[in-house]
A = this chain, B = another copy of it.
């Protein structure tokens, strides 16, 4: 009996299948500190227990993306160990803010399957939910990956394509219990810009850049117990390079976006995202944002901004997403579409 995990192949997935992922993970203050050491984050809410309390949140939530990375990482050994590519995600919503002491567990349900015409691989769609020790949902998301078949000759399953929203509707955003921005302290938060100061279509160049290093991306990826081999082992790829986990770029870009979006305090939903180019140690990453939409919410003083967050290799002051050919411009690493809460 082979003892090691070879991961699932395309034919191992069936519609409706539920997978309970391994390794429950208790979040600690150590995670918060490491996140702050790895990313230049300065958002006041996860930085300060006092600030969090001042906007109605208890127990000092950690950065939302910590929950995202941990939840996502748990699915890797079962879903994407044999992935050809991570194709996308959608309908990611953050529910209960995660605090130190919470233990996260992730389960996934297979919601779509489509074999590729070449017969060698197929696309698997899963909806995943990370919950805490009280069974409360911390976040949920859908994603789809292209996975190798074990046996090219095996029969194709019936094609099922899930109906995934292109954008999470504002009414579906989850307002953390107690959130209230009416007494929001703009001085402590670092910028004066509020909901009304942002216009749809506006672009913000976040100015700052960070040169990536091997140790940092590996430490981040391990911290989330993400086991994809290509991130840690320079012998795992023909080019001898360690591919940087896409989530590392998301967190880096989100942290850089503080400069101009300091009041986009809470990531509430991720509508979709594309990792458009691989990143490696030595690359210098910059970010820019575009306001895609804005909406009021039911919470006191709380508005929502729908933002495009773009990470680039080298700075692009022109903030060009796509070339005239419609393809992503050279140097674009990440195109992320998300909702954040801002004070009105």
* A interface residues, how many (CB within 8 angstroms): 76
User: Using an 8 Å CB-CB cutoff, how does the interface string of A225-258 with B read, 1 for contact, 0 for none?
Assistant: 1010100111110000010000000000000000
Name the B residues within 8 Å of A47 (CB-CB): 23-26, 225
- Chain A, range 189-243, C-beta contacts under 8 Å to B: 189-191, 193, 197, 204-211, 213-216, 218-220, 222-223, 225, 227, 229, 232-236, 242
Given contacts A29-B100, A77-B190, A216-B215, contact A24 B50 (CB under 8 A): yes
CA–CA, A4 to B288, complex, Å? 11
| CB <8 Å contact, B34 and A30 | yes
Bound complex: CA of A44 vs CA of B21, how far in Å?
11
Asked if A14 is at the interface (CB within 8 A of a chain B CB), the reply is: no
| A30 CB contacts on chain B under 8 angstroms | 28-34
Instruction: Taking A28-B32, A208-B232, A213-B218 as given, write out 12 further A-B residue pairs in contact, using a Cβ cutoff of 8 Å, ordered by the A residue number.
Output: A1-B193, A1-B197, A4-B206, A5-B259, A22-B189, A24-B44, A30-B31, A33-B34, A33-B223, A42-B225, A50-B103, A210-B232
Cβ of A184: which chain B residues have Cβ within 8 Å of it?
A: none
A-to-B contact residues, CB < 8 Å: 1, 3-5, 20, 22-26, 28-34, 36-40, 42, 44, 47-51, 60, 77, 100-101, 103, 105, 133, 187-191, 193, 197, 204-211, 213-216, 218-220, 222-223, 225, 227, 229, 232-236, 242, 259-262, 284, 314-315
